[in-house]
Chains A and B, each alone.
Chain A
């Protein structure tokens, strides 16, 4: 009788070993890794959990529909349609996606006093930084195009969800905000599906859901702006956050010995020439991080610091031309400065 009790106890003990082993390995090893080519960039997903495959596929589908709406390269996209009809009297009814991005864009344009402006389209097109044939426009051409750039001119009715660009030749460019929006939408799918752990990278816009399966934070390297791809100047330990960087090294071309990068200052019409070479935003909304990384990159160190004081839960890492790394206070204990190149100085105060 006594022996039987022990046997039953042992049976459960051993069974629990097996079950424990199973659930553990499921959690950390049952994952899906997918790369897709969407929105003109590469999308990487690493999603953990038993529903990972279906969530990843839903995300790919969702990104396709966002791209069909917001791409400048697809002639039939809603955005192309709006742009080719600028100056016409007709108003456009926009869907929720475009409405959401437009209202966010308006907010960040006002907040940055035009350092971020989605009507920068004609200038981006003229410089051709995203084409095979970039060139430096003449100052008179830039002056001409600057007349079209003004976020205040957009006629946008949030109630009726209608939209119009009043001046012929005006063009909206969602390039500095659409990927952030898409990242937020991807994460919404993860949360709805009960995914507890995921890493999603939309061409540089990173969002991490939860912790890693071993319950430690995700470790995200911050690109060294003067070294090869993948070399970082420090590691950020984060969970449930998005990280987006804007830098002068992502895309550029050289003409007559001068380096021209792809982030056009909507106020001057020239590639932004602030004291920053890289601006990283860390927060929980990727659309904010996307818009703010561009805005702060254009605004420069001091004005960006002032702007961030007004915002809640938004942190940043700024790297200046003289190779100093500045970081907001809340982020310091999650950041390990690791500069292999030895060229950068970490500014711990100020």
Chain B
């Protein structure tokens, strides 16, 4: 027969395990967001960095209208984001490699404007196929 003390003990065990599991998860989620910018975990996120600083994060999967981002600096660049894709539309840098790279749509893809020091990269938080591509 269960005594009063046994029931309290059981409750403590169950609560303890549940809270451990729960807080464990909470921890993981908040830690993965070191930059403090909220990210949607589902789908593909485009990260735009200039001089290694994140200037924009856009969830391409949930984007429903075309977005134009103008970046000033020594050279000017225009980035266009649409549902599921993003690219350098224009840049007044000399080689235009960034524009020639075209649309990015797959996680892991990268477009770089070296003269402008701007990078766009696509990330998927879950089930990413590869960690990087050598070229």
Contacts and interface: CB of A to CB of B under 8 A. Distances in A.
Contacts of B42: none
A219 interface: yes
A29 B134 contact: no
Given A21-B20, A229-B109, A29 B132 contact: no
Interface in A229-275: 229-232, 235, 243-245, 247, 249-250
Interface of A: 3, 6-7, 10, 13-14, 17-18, 21-22, 24-26, 28-32, 34-37, 40-42, 44, 132, 199, 201, 204, 206, 208, 212, 218-223, 228-232, 235, 243-245, 247, 249-250, 280
A230 B94 contact: no
B16 A14 contact: yes
A77 to B, nearest CB: 18
Interface residues of B, number: 39
Contact of A37 (B23, B111, B114, B134): B114
B106 A230 contact: yes
Across the A-B interface, give the 8 residue pairs with the lowest CB-CB distance, nearest first: A21-B24, A17-B20, A223-B135, A14-B16, A221-B133, A230-B109, A29-B31, A221-B130
B129 interface: yes
A229 B20 contact: no
Nearest to B33: A29
B114 A222 contact: no
Nearest to B3: A3
B30 to A, nearest CB: 9
A34 to B, nearest CB: 6
A244 B20 CA distance: 44
Contact of B129 (A208, A219, A243, A247): A219
22 contacts: A3-B9, A10-B9, A10-B12, A13-B16, A14-B16, A18-B23, A21-B21, A26-B31, A36-B52, A42-B119, A199-B131, A206-B132, A218-B131, A220-B131, A221-B130, A221-B133, A222-B134, A230-B109, A235-B129, A244-B134, A245-B135, A249-B135
Contacts, number: 119
A324 to B, nearest CB: 19
A3 B5 contact: yes
B69 interface: no
A21 B112 CA distance: 38
B83 interface: no
Nearest to B95: A132
Interface in B65-118: 94-95, 101-102, 104, 106, 108-112, 114, 117
Interface in B4-57: 5, 9, 12-13, 16-17, 20-21, 23-24, 27-28, 31-32, 34, 49, 51-52
Contact of A17 (B24, B101, B130): B24
Contact of A14 (B17, B101, B117): B17
Contacts of A212: 131
A334 to B, nearest CB: 13
B102 A29 contact: no
Contacts of A235: 129-130
B114 A41 contact: yes
A204 B21 CA distance: 40
B114 A40 contact: yes
A17 B52 contact: no
Contacts of A199: 131-132
A42 B31 contact: no
Contact of A10 (B5, B13, B108, B112): B13
